[in-house]
Structure 1
């Protein structure tokens, strides 16, 4: 299994980086939309929609909503402050604060949502739609001045999430004793969380020093710590929904890694939260 994970990662990482820097905004939006539709397909069983037809309709509906929202953006104005972009980002902040409460009080918190397919589908909407707009907003940030500026920001968030996850894994294996959320994800520890945050802080320092980006270090640090914490919450939240649905992996599209949701669960929280803080609060 580890061999497949490493091989797949070595193939996917260069593809992702190439997509960030080489695709034009429209091409990037289409690729991200396709990822979101696949994530919506995989969310179906988590919400109680297990039949192929239900999952297909869910994916198509997700794609239609995103296309209509993209259509509503004026060609001459792609400001982050447009309602169609800003509203999903703020919705993400509210949703992930609610998700924190759900995770902290699980399994008792599941009593009021586990029997409602509509409510679980809504949780999927506020997970996937803001993720798309966080990706889109960061990619287009400063595009007129430098077409690659937004790509650097997205690469930063991705490295932050991957680094925090790797740091948490290593520190958890070496020092982990105190469980972080045993009823949701027994493998995660407080020691791993601290290790992940330290790794994220190192990445933040390296990026602020060597990457071609201009940002106030204190603002970057705040956004980085909150985004790193959000990434852990994203992982825990998907684990909670999978546990409630009796599912180990969200899918099997990626050899050795499970499904799309299994790979982007941390990003679905970190990307829109980081975009909201960096572009709407501190910028």
Structure 2
């Protein structure tokens, strides 16, 4: 399994990095929208929305919201003579951070919305919107801001990727203390610590490529650590949904990695935190 995961990562990583660094913001957010909506489709499955028509309507509604945010933010348009207003993107990112803090309470109540009734589906669909839309807005905000926005987006994603990798190997090597056994039996405290070290190291290292000054590095480390911790919340929350649905993976599209949602669950939670932290500390 490790070899399969590694080979899949070696294929996906260069493509993702090339898109982040080479695509202009309008194309970058369009590609991200496709990826996030694909993950959202899998989320509908975990929420037990089985009817294809219902899932399609929900997906189109989320796409329409994304388009509306872009349309309402135009002041010359993305790629136009004037930069678009990022107010709605920033507001959505803040909402995302608040949502993931509330998600911690949900994680502490494993049985909440665990049945198969309508109200449980409604809660999980609301969680989907509060996870996907703010993360997409945070991605757009980071990528569009400043001449090095593409490098800062790569930094934010590198934090999550490194944390995920560090947690995987540290957990396999040293893992003994279970982090949240009822939600995700394979996650360990040792894995969390290893992931935190790897994520912060990646954040500091990549931030230098993005133009961070020496004085800014401590704040980059703080924001990177916060992003790692939130990425764990995102990962655990998806694990909770999978436990409720009785499935191991959100999908089977990526060999050794499961579905799209399995790959972006941590990203959904980390991006709004990184974007907000970047704005607060001014790097």
Deviations 1:189-232 (A, max 9, x none): 11111111111232234334x42412512321221110010111
What is the Cα deviation at residue 239 of structure 1?
A: 0.3
Q: 1:212 to 1:45 in 2, by over 3 A?
A: closer
Query: 1:168 aligns to what?
Result: 167
Query: 1:151 aligns to what?
Result: 150
Report the Cα distance in structure 1 between the residues aligned to 2:239 and 2:152, rounded to whole angstroms: 27
What is the Cα deviation at residue 248 of structure 1?
A: 1.5
Q: In the alignment, which of 101, 105, 109 is matched to residue 106 of structure 1?
A: 109
Report the Cα distance in structure 1 between the residues aligned to 2:170 and 2:2, rounded to whole angstroms: 18
The answer to whether residue 84 in structure 2 is matched with residue 78 in structure 1 is yes
Pairs within 5 Å for 1:46-125 = 46-74=46-74, 75=76, 76-80=82-86, 82=87, 84-103=88-107, 105-110=108-113, 115-125=119-129
Deviations 1:99-138 (A, max 9, x none): 11111x2324446997422221000000000111111011
Query: 2:241 aligns to what?
Result: 241
Pairs within 5 Å for 1:132-147 = 132-142=136-146, 146=147
For the 8 Å contact 2:204–2:220, the answer to whether it is kept is no
- Count of aligned pairs: 273
SS of residue matched to 2:64: helix
Report the Cα distance in structure 2 between the residues aligned to 1:106 and 1:196, rounded to whole angstroms: 25
Consecutive unaligned residues in structure 2, runs of 5 or more: 77-81
For the 8 Å contact 2:73–2:85, the answer to whether it is kept is no
Report the Cα distance in structure 1 between the residues aligned to 2:7 and 2:114, rounded to whole angstroms: 41
Consecutive unaligned residues in structure 1, runs of 5 or more: none
Report the Cα distance in structure 2 between the residues aligned to 1:224 and 1:7, rounded to whole angstroms: 26
Which TM-score applies when normalising by structure 2?
0.90
Q: Which range is displaced more, 32-41 or 265-274?
A: 32-41
For the 8 Å contact 1:38–1:59, the answer to whether it is kept is no
Q: 1:94 to 1:113 in 2, by over 3 A?
A: farther
Q: CA RMSD in A?
A: 1.9
Query: 1:213 aligns to what?
Result: 211
Report the Cα distance in structure 2 between the residues aligned to 1:223 and 1:113, rounded to whole angstroms: 38
Q: 1:49 to 1:156 in 2, by over 3 A?
A: same
Deviations 1:228-247 (A, max 9, x none): 10111110010001111112
Q: 1:162 to 1:256 in 2, by over 3 A?
A: same
For the 8 Å contact 1:106–1:184, the answer to whether it is kept is no
Deviations 1:249-269 (A, max 9, x none): 111222222111010000000
For the 8 Å contact 1:36–1:63, the answer to whether it is kept is no
Report the Cα distance in structure 2 between the residues aligned to 1:221 and 1:113, rounded to whole angstroms: 42
For the 8 Å contact 1:29–1:136, the answer to whether it is kept is yes
